[in-house]
Structure formats: structure tokens, C-alpha cells
């Protein structure tokens, strides 16, 4: 019997180890399809999925759309600039209208933490997938990160994973911390103390020195530095940030030969890492992107087994 009983995927904080394992296992079975000549299965034929992106996105938006198409669903794409939200319609009204247009699953990215939770609660017969809500969670990113680690190392349990950068404002960091801990990885974080959430030391080992943090790690996830925070006083200049927390050729030379470099994208080249690191043979950044399609196919499929039509 399937362990998956949820109509929504809102975050990894609430998911069990078994539920996360079920998503990763299902994604593994979908991945070979991405390289077949005919990259399509009829699993979601007759279903309609609405992608509601109220914040910019390349990877998440495109990989959700491709995942839906690979599963034979019909898709509609809506951004805030072309929706009636700019005429004053509420998010809930927009979603109710999509339900009336018989969209059975809504994928939503929104700047307000909790926006997907509101839709999930108010729309009992629609599946809701969180594609990133404010600084709260980005569950599908963390799932594709874990899938990529599992693919590379054959396991997640016991892996020593370091997350570097603006932990305070990162939904990717939050989802990874919840997910990796459930899967029994050892999680560490590194960055300026001004960019660490209060109480983070209960969930992860905290470093402020990158050279110390990098010792003996299996996977290092660099987070995008949010340039919009440059003048907030929370971190030094971009040049200073790169000197203290950027991945350089010299730092690469001191890493264990098995350590992989990860980044959710978009990468600020020369800030989080130099191009030689982003493009080097230890980087699995583009594998992460490919895996995003398989992981999102798995989530769409599992949710479709629960949504009442
Ligand atoms: N990783 C990620 O969320 O990238 P996008 O903003 O391009 O979707």
C-alpha cells in the first residue's frame, strides 16, 4: 500500500522519512523516460495543471511544465503580470476560478510565505504544490537536491552536507534542512552570523569560517546571494562576501576528491563561486536541473493518486 496520502505538497517540515523516500523512489522510476525518444507517458492524460508563478523563475517553472507535459497533462501558465491579480483579484479568487475551469492541480510560487497553504486549505478538491513561498520553503528544490545526492552517492543517510550563504532568507536552505535531517544526513550551515536564523544550531552545525566548514564534506550547496540585500548591512560587500564565502579554485584544491558542488540556481558567477567551479567536473548543478523534471513528475503523479476528481 502506498505511503502517500496527501493531496498537497506544501513543505518538507511535515513530511515523514517514508513519504520523502516514496517521492525519491518514484522519481527514480521516471528518470529514464527523460532520455527516451518518446518522452511521454499517459499517466495524467485528461488532467489539467495550472502553474501560477507570481515571482520570477526559470528552472522551477520550466521543469514543472515539462514534467506535466511528459505525464500528458494539459497545462496553463499564469504569471502575476498577465493575470487579473493586477486588477485587484485576490489569490484565492484566482484559484477558485481555476478550479471552475477544471484545473485539478495548482502549482504556485508566491512571495508571501503561506500562500500555498491558504489555497490547499480552502480548495478541498484541488491538489496544491508549493513551488517556493516567500522565505518559508521550496520543497521540490530540496527533493531534487536529495535525489541528486542519492544518485551520486547511492544514499543520503550519513552524508555530510554543508549549506553555504544566506541561510536566514533561504527557502531552499529551510527545506533542505528539514528533508536532509529526516533522511538522516549530517547537516551543517556556513555564512555570516547576521544571515543565520536564531536557533539554527538546534538543527544544524553552524560555521562562520568556510575553510573550516569545507573539511570532510560530501556535498556543498551554495545558495544564491540575494543582491537585493546588498545594502541591508547584513553582509559585507559582494567582493568581501566572495573572499569569505565564495568557492574559489584554491578552495577546490583543498576539497576531498569526492565532494560535489551544488547550487539551486541562478548562480551569481564570481560571487558564490568562480566559473571554473560552476563549470568544473565536481559540479552537479546541471544534473540537479535535469533531476528536477523527474522529481516533479513523481510529485504530480503521487498527488494525482489522492485528489478527488
Ligand atoms: N532553483 C530555483 O528555484 O530556480 P528558479 O528561481 O529559476 O525557479
Residue 128 CB partners (closer than 8 Å, separation 6+)? 7, 8, 9, 10, 105, 106, 108, 116, 119, 120
Co-location of 96 and 40 in the same domain: yes
* CATH number of the CATH domain containing 151: 3.40.50.1370
Q: Could you tell me if residue 12 is inside a domain?
A: no
Euclidean distance between CA atoms 80 and 302, whole angstroms: 28
Sign of the torsion angle spanned by Cα atoms 162, 166, 172, 173: positive
Our count of domains for the chain comes to 2
Q: For the stretch 14-26, what's the b/e string if a residue is b when 16 or more beta carbons lie within 10 angstroms of its beta carbon?
A: ebeeebbbbbbeb
The closest-lying atom of ligand 1 relative to the alpha carbon of residue 292 is 1
Q: What is the overall mean pLDDT for the chain? A: 96
Average pLDDT over residues 8-26: 98
Q: Could you tell me if residue 132 is inside a domain?
A: yes
Take atom 1 of ligand 1 and give the residue whose Cα is closest: 264
Grid cell for residue 39:
518522452
* Count of Cβ atoms closer than 10 Å to residue 5 Cβ: 10
Residues of the domain holding 173: 139-285
Q: Could you tell me if residue 11 is inside a domain?
A: no
Decide whether any atom of ligand 1 lies within 6 Å of the 291 Cβ: no
Tell how many helices (H) and how many strands (E) occur in the chain. Answer: 11, 9
Ligand 1 centroid, distance to 65 Cα (angstroms): 13
Query: What is the pTM assigned to this prediction?
Result: 0.96
| Structure confidence at residue 233 (pLDDT) | 79
Q: Could you tell me if residue 75 is inside a domain?
A: yes
| Structure confidence at residue 230 (pLDDT) | 66
Decide whether any atom of ligand 1 lies within 6 Å of the 94 Cβ: no
- Band of pLDDT at residue 306, cut at 50, 70 and 90: very high
Ligand 1 centroid, distance to 133 Cα (angstroms): 12
Among 107, 134, 141, residue to substitute to test ligand 1 (most atoms within 8 Å of Cβ): 141
pLDDT digits (tens, 9 = 90+) for 91-128: 999 999 999 999 999 999 999 999 999 999 999 999 99
Q: Could you tell me if residue 7 is inside a domain?
A: no
Take atom 4 of ligand 1 and give the residue whose Cα is closest: 59
Co-location of 132 and 44 in the same domain: yes
Take atom 5 of ligand 1 and give the residue whose Cα is closest: 57
Co-location of 178 and 209 in the same domain: yes
Co-location of 204 and 92 in the same domain: no
Ligand 1 centroid, distance to 57 Cα (angstroms): 5
Cβ-contact 291, 31 below 8 angstroms: yes
pLDDT > 90: percent of the chain: 91
pLDDT digits (tens, 9 = 90+) for 209-239: 999 999 999 999 999 998 776 667 787 789 9
Decide whether any atom of ligand 1 lies within 6 Å of the 264 Cβ: yes
The closest-lying atom of ligand 1 relative to the alpha carbon of residue 60 is 8
Take atom 3 of ligand 1 and give the residue whose Cα is closest: 60
Among 52, 53, 59, residue to substitute to test ligand 1 (most atoms within 8 Å of Cβ): 59
Q: Is the pLDDT of residue 309 over 90?
A: no
Co-location of 68 and 189 in the same domain: no
Q: Could you tell me if residue 216 is inside a domain?
A: yes
Ligand 1 centroid, distance to 255 Cα (angstroms): 27
pLDDT digits (tens, 9 = 90+) for 43-91: 999 999 999 999 999 999 999 999 999 999 999 999 877 777 778 889 9
* Count of Cβ atoms closer than 10 Å to residue 155 Cβ: 13
Decide whether any atom of ligand 1 lies within 6 Å of the 57 Cβ: yes
Amino acid at each position: 500500500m502506498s505511503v502517500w496520502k496527501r493531496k498537497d505538497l506544501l513543505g518538507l517540515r511535515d513530511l515523514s522519512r517514508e513519504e520523502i523516500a516514496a517521492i525519491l523512489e518514484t522519481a527514480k522510476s521516471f528518470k529514464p523516460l527523460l532520455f527516451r525518444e518518446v518522452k511521454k507517458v499517459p499517466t495524467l492524460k485528461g488532467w489539467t495543471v495550472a502553474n501560477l508563478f507570481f515571482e520570477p523563475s526559470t528552472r522551477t517553472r520550466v521543469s514543472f511544465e515539462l514534467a506535466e507535459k511528459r505525464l500528458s497533462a494539459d497545462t496553463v501558465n499564469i504569471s502575476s503580470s498577465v493575470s487579473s491579480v493586477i486588477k485587484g483579484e485576490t489569490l484565492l479568487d484566482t484559484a477558485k476560478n481555476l478550479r471552475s475551469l477544471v484545473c485539478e492541480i495548482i502549482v504556485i510560487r508566491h512571495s508571501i510565505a503561506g500562500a500555498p497553504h491558504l489555497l490547499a486549505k480552502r480548495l478541498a478538491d484541488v491538489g496544491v504544490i508549493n513551488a517556493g513561498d516567500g522565505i518559508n520553503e521550496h520543497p521540490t528544490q530540496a527533493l531534487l537536491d536529495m535525489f541528486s545526492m542519492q544518485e551520486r552517492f547511492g544514499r543520503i543517510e550519513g552524508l555530510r552536507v554543508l549549506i553555504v550563504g544566506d541561510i536566514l532568507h533561504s527557502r531552499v536552505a529551510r527545506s533542505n534542512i528539514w528533508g536532509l535531517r529526516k533522511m538522516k544526513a549530517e547537516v551543517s550551515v556556513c555564512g555570516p552570523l547576521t544571515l543565520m536564523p536564531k536557533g539554527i544550531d538546534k538543527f544544524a552545525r553552524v560555521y562562520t569560517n568556510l575553510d573550516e566548514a569545507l573539511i570532510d564534506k560530501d556535498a556543498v550547496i551554495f545558495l544564491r546571494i540575494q543582491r537585493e540585500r546588498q545594502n541591508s548591512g547584513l553582509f559585507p560587500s559582494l567582493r568581501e562576501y566572495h573572499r569569505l564565502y565564495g568557492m574559489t579554485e584554491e578552495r577546490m584544491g583543498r576539497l576531498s576528491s569526492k565532494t560535489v558542488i551544488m547550487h539551486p540556481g541562478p548562480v551569481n558567477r564570481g560571487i558564490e563561486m568562480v566559473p571554473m567551479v560552476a563549470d568544473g567536473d565536481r559540479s552537479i548543478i546541471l544534473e540537479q536541473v535535469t533531476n528536477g523534471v523527474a522529481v516533479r513528475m513523481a510529485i504530480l503523479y503521487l498527488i494525482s493518486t489522492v485528489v478527488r476528481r
